[in-house]
Amino acid sequence: MIHNLIKKRLIFWAVLLIIFAVLVIFSSQIKSFFYNQSINLQTMFWHSGQSLKTDERIKELTQENQKLLSQLANLEEIKEENRFLRQALDLGMDKEFDLILAQATAKNVFTFQGIVFEDSILINKGKNDGVRKDFPVILADKILIGKVADVYDSFSRVALITNKDSAIDVEVQGLFALAKGQGNLKMILDLFPKDKELNEGALVCTSALGGIYPSGLVVGQVRNIKKLDNEAFIRADIEPAFNLSQLDRVFVIKTAKIIND
């Protein structure tokens, strides 16, 4: 029994001596191993932290870029509006008319509040901007496109001159006639005297007889003249002066007579 106990103690001390010897002999290698492992862990955590910082920076730069793009878009919008206003100034329209600059937001045929509107546009100005029903709507070069038909707080519907309900007193070659909307962006000239000569391409403008439209606004040009024996007047098509596909910014004319009514 005592012999076994002594034997176990000897083995124990022998193992300790071997471990001590290994530690003394290979201490530098062991230290190097643990140091390398520590460095690898530190490097991993550092790169992880740097990655998070990079992602945050990318997010910040993206937000700043979006903000700058938004500001640039606003500047372009202001620049475009100023260009249209300068056109009005160059034409003397600021002295001749009291104008409201607006932008078309829907064109030709669209559904609004469950109703389908044809030959109409929506503009982004309404009662809050001083727009009223029957105000004429034109382009910068005095081309007539229609009149305000419905007014809401911040937008309005404009019935184009080609609308089926449109009838405008016009002047062609110094003579009075009537321009009627036919729908589908078409118009006809009616009540032109049969005993007078009507020329293809003649300019059609609003006349002084009109109660809503100021005189001298461009309506369009005469096309496809029809002079029939059984009719008292010459008829013709009118090609509108505006291009609906390119219609963007427009001017609403504030008419004193309509305001007072």
> How high is the pLDDT of residue 108?
81
Would the pLDDT of 90 be above 50? yes
Beta-carbon contacts of 160 under 8 Å, excluding residues fewer than 6 positions away, are: 108, 119, 120, 121, 145, 146, 166, 181, 185, 240, 244
CA-to-CA distance for 85 and 76, rounded, in angstroms? 14
Q: What pTM value is reported for the model?
A: 0.66
Six-digit token string for 20: 């001590």
For the segment 179-220, what is each residue's pLDDT rounded down to a tens digit?
999 999 999 999 999 889 999 999 999 997 867 899 999 999
For the segment 28-62, what is each residue's pLDDT rounded down to a tens digit?
555 555 555 555 555 565 555 555 566 676 667 66
Name the DSSP letter for residue 174: T
CB 225 within 8 A of CB 198: yes
> How high is the pLDDT of residue 260?
38
CB 160 within 8 A of CB 146: yes
Q: Which residues pair with 181 in a beta bridge?
A: 187
